[in-house]
Amino acid sequence: MKPYLVAALQMTSQPDLERNLLQAEELIELAARRGADLVGLPENFAFLGPEADKVAQAEAIAAQTEKFIQTMARRYQVSLLAGGFPVPAPEEAGKAYNTAVLVAPTGEELSRYYKVHLFDVNVPDGNTYCESNTVKSGAAYPPVYRSEEFGNLGLSICYDVRFPELYRHLSAQGAEVLFIPAAFTAFTGKDHWQVLLQARAIENTCYVVAPAQTGRHYQRRYTHGHALIIDPWGMILADAGEEPGMALAEINPGRLKQVRQQMPSLNHRVF
């Protein structure tokens, strides 16, 4: 693979599918104009609203979103990672899978992942989250998509970042770039977001691409922002800050090789 540009998009999604997809297209177009070949959307990019509303609309959200990402990939000739949207779970009524999908510039689906770790947490800021009320957990490790153009891409979603064994599995499967799209809470994000992403990059000597949600979405739902791209040494290459926009940086196979030679920890694993 040759060096290429990747964009980690940052959005303030609302409980409004049409508005969110319009915002997403504006950012995808901007990323393509800036030369990005691979573009990542954050978790909940298509809909970020009350859980009951999300599940009630899941079928429509899934149908429109899948058509949207295929159209965007073809229109702007980019590979696109849709970082998390609800897809109804046929096995369990009233629940959906939190789903990440990677599509090619042809619109062809390349890889799909159902989020495994669900965010059931009482956050100290007074907010309570119980993702498992409306989301069915995936039952398999995330896939690694092997690409001559982009290297080996490992998928994950948000809360997964707190479970290093998942990323160790991805690196053992050959991952070189880890996608971690998120809607990280504002309260936890200020202390944990950056350090967790850097840890996943350093311990696996992988690039990390982390699209993000930012700002106020509805009621008391606030997210941290700071979409990041991090190199295998843990250096922050791009930070989107706190406003909608993007982090844009180069993925360089030479840098990946250099870091893995300097710090060959993946070769020294005992267990």
| Spans of all domains in the chain | 4-268
The CATH fold of domain 4-268: Nitrilase/N-carbamoyl-D-aminoacid amidohydrolase (3.60.110)
Mean pLDDT of the chain, nearest integer: 96
CB 97 within 8 A of CB 58: no
CB 58 within 8 A of CB 44: no
pTM score > 0.85 for this model? Answer: yes
- CA-nearest of 249, 166, 246, 167 to 213 is 246
- CA-nearest of 172, 179, 156, 184 to 229 is 179
CB 84 within 8 A of CB 181: yes
Amino acid at 96: A
Q: What is the pLDDT of residue 256?
A: 98
98-126 confidence digits (pLDDT tens) = 999 999 999 999 999 999 999 999 888 87
Q: Is 43 a catalytic residue?
A: yes
Query: Which of 51-55, 107-111, 266-270 is the least confident region?
Result: 51-55
Pick the catalytic residue from 43, 66, 136, 176. Answer: 43
Q: Is 260 exposed, middle or buried (0-12, 13-18, 19+ CB in 10 A)?
A: middle
Q: What is the pLDDT of residue 220?
A: 86
77-104 confidence digits (pLDDT tens) = 999 999 999 999 988 888 999 999 999 9
Taking every pair of Cα atoms in the chain, the longest distance, rounded to a whole number of angstroms, is 51
Pick the catalytic residue from 66, 136, 158, 206. Answer: 158
Partners of residue 216 on adjacent β-strands: 222
Q: In what order do the strands lie in the sheet with 177-179?
A: 144-147, 151-154, 177-179, 207-210, 228-230, 236-239
CA distance linking residue 180 with residue 201, whole number of Å: 11
Pick the catalytic residue from 54, 115, 136, 176. Answer: 115
121-176 confidence digits (pLDDT tens) = 988 887 889 999 999 999 999 999 999 999 999 999 999 999 999 999 999 999 99
CA distance linking residue 196 with residue 96, whole number of Å: 27
- Residue 28 structure tokens: 């995808």
